Amino acid sequence: MTIFKKIIDREIPADIVFEDDQCLAFRDISPQAPTHILVIPKKEISAVDALSEEDEALVGHIFLVIRKIAKDEGLSNGFRVVTNNGLLAGQTVPHLHFHLLGGRPLNWPPG
Ligand code: AMP
């Protein structure tokens, strides 16, 4: 069981900013920007490369949630959505998650 599943199940605490039947959003414990929120599906999917056709609507839903949270956080001047997939990308938690970053200028390309 991953740490994110434990957050979903309320076994460990998190600063939750949004929840519905399909997903959960909480502040990253090690924020890399003034706003750094993780949006995760409640369904246990390890990464982008584990997605299947049946997850299509779920991923679309998550992006609409990200859009709403970005608005709520006042990120009208811009924000970034990042998903790390696998070892070389630096994925550390094997539960699909979307980083929502904003509140400062974000450099490109990323590291
Ligand atoms: P990644 O490296 O893309 O897999 O991202 C994992 C993220 O989860 C990192 O930014 C961590 O800081 C964050 N993280 C790990 N444990 C927790 C936790 N208990 N609560 C909130 N964020 C966490």
Of the candidates 36, 95, 97, 99, the residue annotated as catalytic is 97
**Residue that wins the pLDDT comparison between 111 and 71:** 71
| Number of the ligand 1 atom closest to the C-alpha atom of 94 | 4
| Confidence label for 90 from pLDDT (cuts 50, 70 and 90) | very high
| Confidence label for 103 from pLDDT (cuts 50, 70 and 90) | very high
For residues 36 and 54, give the distance between their C-alpha atoms in angstroms, rounded to a whole number.
28
pLDDT above 90 (res 79)? yes
Positive/negative CA dihedral, 63, 67, 72, 76? positive
Question: Does the active-site annotation cover 97?
Answer: yes
Is residue 52 lining ligand 1, measured as CB closer than 6 Å?
A: no
Ligand 1 geometric centre to CA of 93 (Å): 7
- pTM higher than the cut 0.85: yes
For residues 40 and 37, give the distance between their C-alpha atoms in angstroms, rounded to a whole number.
10
| Number of the ligand 1 atom closest to the C-alpha atom of 84 | 3
Alpha helices in the chain (DSSP H): 3-8, 56-72
Question: Which neighbouring-strand residues pair with 16?
Answer: 26
